Amino acid sequence: MEMMISANNIVKSFGNKKVLDEISFHVRKGHIFGLLGPSGAGKTTLIKILTGQLKQDFGTAEINGLDTNKLTGEDHKKFGIMMDNFGIYERLNCYENLKVFADIYGIKKNCIFNALKKVGLAGAEKTTASKLSKGMTSRLRLARVFMINPDIIFLDEPTSGLDPATADEIHKIMLAEKEKGKTIFLTTHTMSEAEKLCNNIIIMDDGKIIEHGSPEEICRRYNHQRMLKIHLIDGTDIQLPHNENTADKVAELIRNGHVETIHTTEPNLETVFMELTGKELAI
Ligand SMILES: Nc1ncnc2c1ncn2[C@@H]1O[C@H](COP(=O)(O)OP(=O)(O)O)[C@@H](O)[C@H]1O
Ligand SMILES: [Mg+2]
């Protein structure tokens, strides 16, 4: 099993506030790994450490076997980063924005056009960045990542604030990259996004990992939250916990001919997070 990203007991404080508290995990090659957590959980701080933009206080981080504190300019060219502080030049058009980075990275012109096409910005080459919608700006940020054809891609809340259709297109692009064997490290506060895309996730709250595993595994662990949704012939709906204590009640309803349909509801990451923290994963 080839590990592309490893974090071992990462600790980071800002002043007295511990923002990352002994964070450890591994990301396999070709996986989409999700870091889930509410605003302020420490997601962006962790991405900055993993990409060598910030130094941790304790612990070690490696990407592709390299210590993230010792990355060279050449190393940096091998991974793509999309995050808010990687700005777009408002006064340049889409093509010019990418050209700035293409020149730094020694990337050919046709790669710029290919990247714009890939993210659905073909035809918008000459549009000034300041005139782009939020969705198009996100696409342009993504184009910059894909232009360098990196093996490891870090995406910090790539679909935050986007409409569902644009988010869905970005999901498709991510899944296509995964199919090509790329490794993606994704942060999100959208549980449905993690369930849809990620092989493995960690859930963080207040700088600590509170759950880890595949989305399915985690949901299975919280199977006691399974509910039976029963629709009665008289039109009313009732919900009962899915366990042996309710079996008699359900049998009685069926025997007496009251039941029209029965469904089971599986726990999702949203309900898991709620159980773990007592909080909603609000935006
Ligand atoms: N440069 C900084 N100086 C001081 N505090 C910071 C700094 N960067 C982040 N923080 C604090 O660290 C915590 C985690 O922030 P962040 O990593 O941005 O969380 P997330 O990306 O999950 O929303 C927050 O409480 C934030 O205010
Ligand atoms: Mg953040």
In this prediction, residues 258-280 reach a mean pLDDT of 85
Tell whether 131 and 259 lie within a shared domain. Answer: no
Q: Residue 43 contacts by C-beta under 8 Å, 6 or more apart in sequence? A: 35, 37, 156, 157, 187, 204
Please indicate whether residue 39, judged by its CB atom, sits closer than 6 Å to ligand 1: yes
Tell whether 159 and 271 lie within a shared domain. Answer: no
Decide which of 179, 203, 218 is a domain's last residue. 218
Indicate whether 98 belongs to any domain: yes
Q: State pLDDT tens for residues 78-110.
A: 899 998 867 799 999 999 999 998 998 889 999
Tell whether 66 and 184 lie within a shared domain. Answer: yes
Residue nearest to atom 4 of ligand 1 (CA): 14
The alpha carbon of 269 and the centre of ligand 1 are apart by a number of angstroms equal to: 23
Q: State pLDDT tens for residues 51-79.
A: 999 999 999 999 999 999 999 988 888 89
pTM of the predicted structure, to 2 decimals: 0.87
Residue 10 sits in which domain range? 3-78+150-218
Tell whether 160 and 24 lie within a shared domain. Answer: yes
What's the CATH number where 64 sits? 3.40.50.300
Reduce the DSSP state of residue 54 to 3 states and report it: coil
Tell whether 226 and 91 lie within a shared domain. Answer: no
Q: State pLDDT tens for residues 223-249.
A: 776 788 899 999 999 988 888 888 889
Q: Which ligand is nearest to the CA of 42?
A: 1
Please indicate whether residue 190, judged by its CB atom, sits closer than 6 Å to ligand 1: no
Ligand 1 pocket: which of 10, 11, 16, 19 to mutate (most atoms within 8 A of CB)? 19
Tell whether 251 and 214 lie within a shared domain. Answer: no
Q: Residue 5 contacts by C-beta under 8 Å, 6 or more apart in sequence? A: 26, 27, 33, 50, 61, 62, 63, 64, 152, 183, 185
Tell whether 186 and 159 lie within a shared domain. Answer: yes
Decide which of 167, 189, 218 is a domain's last residue. 218
Ligand 1 pocket: which of 14, 36, 48 to mutate (most atoms within 8 A of CB)? 14
Please indicate whether residue 23, judged by its CB atom, sits closer than 6 Å to ligand 1: no
Tell whether 138 and 226 lie within a shared domain. Answer: no
The alpha carbon of 257 and the centre of ligand 2 are apart by a number of angstroms equal to: 53
DSSP category for residue 278: S
Indicate whether 14 belongs to any domain: yes
Decide which of 198, 218, 238 is a domain's last residue. 218
Tell whether 154 and 112 lie within a shared domain. Answer: no
pLDDT, residue 100, reads: 93
- Tell me how many domains the chain contains: 3
Tell whether 103 and 235 lie within a shared domain. Answer: no
The alpha carbon of 272 and the centre of ligand 1 are apart by a number of angstroms equal to: 24
Angle between helices 94-105 and 109-118 (to 10 degrees): 130
Report angle CA 196, 267, 257 to the nearest 5 degrees.
120
> Residue 196, by phi and psi: left (phi above 0), alpha (psi -120 to 50) or beta?
alpha
Indicate whether 282 belongs to any domain: no
Q: Residue 104 contacts by C-beta under 8 Å, 6 or more apart in sequence? A: none
Report the alpha-carbon distance of residue 143 to residue 148 in Å, rounded: 9
**Cβ neighbour number for residue 60 with a 10 Å cutoff:** 14
